[in-house]
Amino acid sequence: MTDGESLVSARARPPRRYSMRTGLLLLVFACIFPALVVASLAVYESYVIQKERIFRDKIFLARNLTAILDRELTAVEAGMQMLASSPDLVAGDLPAFHQRARDAVRFQIADSYVLTDRAGRQVLNTLVPYGTSLPMSRVPRDLDRVFESRAPVLSGLFTGAVSGSPRIALGVPVLRGEDVIYSLNVGLSPERIGAVLGRRSLPEGWVAAVLDSSGTIVARTRDTAKFVGQKAVPALARAVQDESEGSLETLTKEGTPVYTAFSRSALSGWTVAAGAPMTLVTTDLYRSIAWIALGTLAAFGLGLWLALKLASRLTSAVQGLVGPALALGEGRPVEVPRTHVKEAVEVGTALQQASRMLAHAQHLAHYDPLTGLCNRVLFGELVLRELAVAQRSGASFAILAIDLDGFKAVNDMHGHAAGDTVLKEAADRMANAIRVSDVAARLGGDEFAILLLAGNRESAQAVAEALVESLSLPYANVKVAVSASVGIAVYPQSGTTMLQLLERADVALYQAKGLGKRRVASDV
């Protein structure tokens, strides 16, 4: 066939024709498919980001629960050290010490105090009256180390000889001269340990547990009696033995799929694990899939040409936001790529603003480096948050303004190092005198403040008087008499704004000082 014949044949061949129906279907598919891919990627990335956020939040929760548990154990140990050095015990007046220990146990998470000798035999037990015949069975062998190490020892889980129920024991040495004559032990029930974790309100369906070094469940926020003493699920038991902190997907003992995070305590060696149901993410995923299906159907009514032209731009813009979103979730600086899509620019701007706000919040959320208490900025944020809650719920709360009387004389006589020691000791006394849910802060110098959640005038007065007594006790190696004055302001009687409440608390504080110091004065 010559070139001329080929050209004539090509001109004579009719062009390939498509029906309008076929053409529209192909065009709709060409428009919808890219949008469907982009939406699916966005949903998947959202799923990944939300999943990572839950894991991150769970780790923060596990750390928080571990800190709460450590604080309670530290308070118990401090109380035991005081009891171990009490004059009754050192002098051998066991009946008087028995009464003292029974009085002390009411103010701690402990169930009982037990005094044992070197042979492991019980000398007295606060669960029964003094002089009652005690079982001959030994206490856990872990506590024998108290006599050798001369240091506190935390036992594993065991069954109490008197109580007949699961217990964990903490033992401290009782010294007479240079000799360890007894081991003073405190019994902790799994229920009480679980109640400590329960102070941090967990959402519906969430569960937290305390595991010992072998992965055995020591306490649990749910079904404690059913699962205490059992091993954790294998995946979690292996993880806590390999790592001190981490997260994984696993099952609860009831068989519920959960996202689990865990953190090990450097104080007790226990690991606190917290699990959130996987439905937190999958429910949103299914909802997003449903929205994608609806959006796909709606897209059939849109302009096909516009959808085809914008698909590539939207895909690029959305994918360009994945990196900044992940960077925001990981706390890294957010850099948004250039784009001509207005909505993507707005989201990128919002991500950058959120990144700056997060960095600013992290900068503000600092604690006083000397005392470990909240600083003035964080205390103000917590007061504002509680104020918003109280305005919605109608509940009350109180603010205590505290000033140390005679503190300047400590610096003048003993120097600033001694003054710093007094401030730290005062901060420790404040932390021990308030609930875990309350907040103590150092505002500057020897000025402190306390936020009492759900507190009224009567409860605030009682806490303030206890603080005055505690802060007015002698300080080691300080000859100057240091005391405290406290001013009380209660929402809403003293004011309905943070500024009003702080000012009224300061006014009440100056009234207390004007009355002769070492006083408590209230604005209401």
Grouped pLDDT means (10 residues each) for the chain, 524 residues:
55 58 64 71 71 76 85 85 87 89 81 87 89 77 86 85 81 88 87 80 82 86 84 88 88 86 86 84 68 69 59 63 69 73 71 68 70 92 93 93 93 91 94 92 93 91 94 91 94 93 94 91 83
Residue with tokens 């205490």: 228
pLDDT at 426: 94
pLDDT at 448: 96
CB 224 within 8 A of CB 153: no
- Classify domain 60-278 by CATH architecture: 2-Layer Sandwich (3.30)
CB 299 within 8 A of CB 32: yes
> In a 3-state reduction of DSSP, which class is residue 175?
strand
Find the radius of gyration of the CA atoms of the chain.
Answer: 33
pTM: predicted TM-score of the whole model, two decimal places: 0.46
> In a 3-state reduction of DSSP, which class is residue 286?
helix
pLDDT at 493: 92
pLDDT at 316: 67
Whole-number Å distance between alpha carbons of 368 and 438: 17
pLDDT at 12: 56
Report CA-CA distances (Å) from 458 to 55, 515, 519: 41, 20, 16
C-alpha angle with apex 392: 386 to 398, nearest 5 degrees?
35
The sign of the torsion formed by the CA atoms of 34, 35, 36, 39 equals: positive
The tokens for 377 are: 């900025």
Q: Residue 17: exposed, middle, or buried by beta-carbon count in 10 A (0-12, 13-18, 19+)?
A: exposed
The sign of the torsion formed by the CA atoms of 463, 465, 468, 471 equals: negative
User: On the CB side of 487, how many CA atoms lie within 13 Å of its CA?
Assistant: 24
Beta bridge partners of 251: 257
What's the order of all strands across the beta sheet hosting 207-211? 217-220, 207-211, 271-277, 257-264, 245-251
Whole-number Å distance between alpha carbons of 8 and 459: 104
pLDDT at 322: 66
Cβ-based neighbours of 19, under 8 Å, separated by 6 or more: none
> In a 3-state reduction of DSSP, which class is residue 132?
coil
The type of residue at 115 is L
pLDDT at 379: 93
The tokens for 205 are: 């369906």
Cβ-based neighbours of 58, under 8 Å, separated by 6 or more: 247, 259, 260, 261, 274, 275, 276
DSSP one-letter string for 30-52 = HHHHHHHHHHHHHHHHHHHHHHH
Spans of all domains in the chain: 60-278, 376-522
Q: How many residues does the chain have?
A: 524
> In a 3-state reduction of DSSP, which class is residue 111?
coil
Beta bridge partners of 263: 245, 272
> In a 3-state reduction of DSSP, which class is residue 340?
coil
60-278 and 376-522 agree in CATH topology: no
User: On the CB side of 425, how many CA atoms lie within 13 Å of its CA?
Assistant: 19
Residues designated as active site? 446
- Classify domain 376-522 by CATH architecture: 2-Layer Sandwich (3.30)
